[in-house]
Structure 1
Amino acid sequence: MKKIGFSLLLAIGLLHAQATLAAADCKSYPKEEWASEDTLKEALEAEGYTIKKFKVDGNCYEIYGRNKEGKKVEIYFDMKTLAIVKAIGLKD
């Protein structure tokens, strides 16, 4: 019984750690201050990015796609300034 309980707690802890690592810490703004999604998409495509998925994740814009070299990326952007808050895969 103790092994099952410990395993369950370990699994929950690992899932929580993964969720924490994946999330970005973006500042919250009123919706009327958000920059246009289309502006961000157009700017990224002009730089050679291919966007596979674009979504609002909490207080961030988040994209999944490929950079101009064809490498997978996951990037979180500030919704007002469109600055990169967190990027995964850009340095590969």
Structure 2
Amino acid sequence: MKSAFIASTALLSVLLSACALADDDCSEPVSDWQPRETLRQNVEQQWGWSVQRIKVDDGCYKLKGTDRKGNAIEARYAPASLRLRSLQINFGDDGDAGDYLAQPAHE
């Protein structure tokens, strides 16, 4: 009885972790995707980022570049809505997260 409980608990944890990993993927239909150039223009205008590369990864746009202070950026966007799904920033020695805690200024 105890081994059946352990086995079912282990199976449940594997299934739940698989579901959690599946949430990282984007699943919007390709016919609805916006051009990569639109994403590039948006982040350059809104955030002042310099984009080095945009590629498709797990159905999402994966952007690599630097912010206006030279910090390395890796971001994932939903390709149809261009909504930010994840953002990683490698701050330099004098890096400050304050720029990313407030909304971008609109001109």
Code of the aligned partner of 2:30: K
Cα deviation for residue 52 of structure 1 reads 1.3
- Shift of residue 86, structure 1, vs aligned partner: 0.7
Is structure 2 residue 89 aligned with structure 1 residue 89? yes
The CA distance in 1 between the partners of 2:83 and 2:72, in whole Å, is: 19
Question: How many percent identity over aligned positions?
Answer: 26
How far the C-alpha of 1:66 sits from its partner, in A, is 0.3
CA contact (8 A) 2:28 2:78 kept: no
Match of 1:54 in 2: 54
* Residue type at the aligned position of 2:78: D
Cα separation, 1, equivalents of 2:63 and 2:26: 17
TM-score, scaled relative to structure 1: 0.66
Offset at residue 83 of structure 1 (A): 0.9
Residue 36 of structure 2 aligns with which residue? 37
Larger RCO, structures 1/2 (Cα 8 Å, 6+ apart)? 1
Q: Does the CA-based 8 Å contact 2:66-2:73 persist in structure 1?
A: yes
Q: Which residue of 2 aligns with 1:64?
A: 64
What are the ranges of 5 or more consecutive residues in structure 2 without an aligned counterpart?
1-20, 91-96, 99-107
Q: Deviations over 1:30-87 (max 9, x none)?
A: 2111122111011111131111111011110011110122100100001111111011
The aligned amino acid for 2:77 is F
Runs of 4 or more off by more than 3 Å in structure 1? none
Q: How many residues matched?
A: 70
> Structure 1 stretches of 5 or more lacking a match?
1-20
Q: Which amino acid counterpart does residue 77 of structure 1 have in structure 2?
A: Y
- CA displacement, residues 2-22 of structure 1 (integer Å, 9 cap, x when unaligned): xxxxxxxxxxxxxxxxxxx9x
Question: C-alpha separation between the residues in 2 aligned to 1:44 and 1:29?
Answer: 21
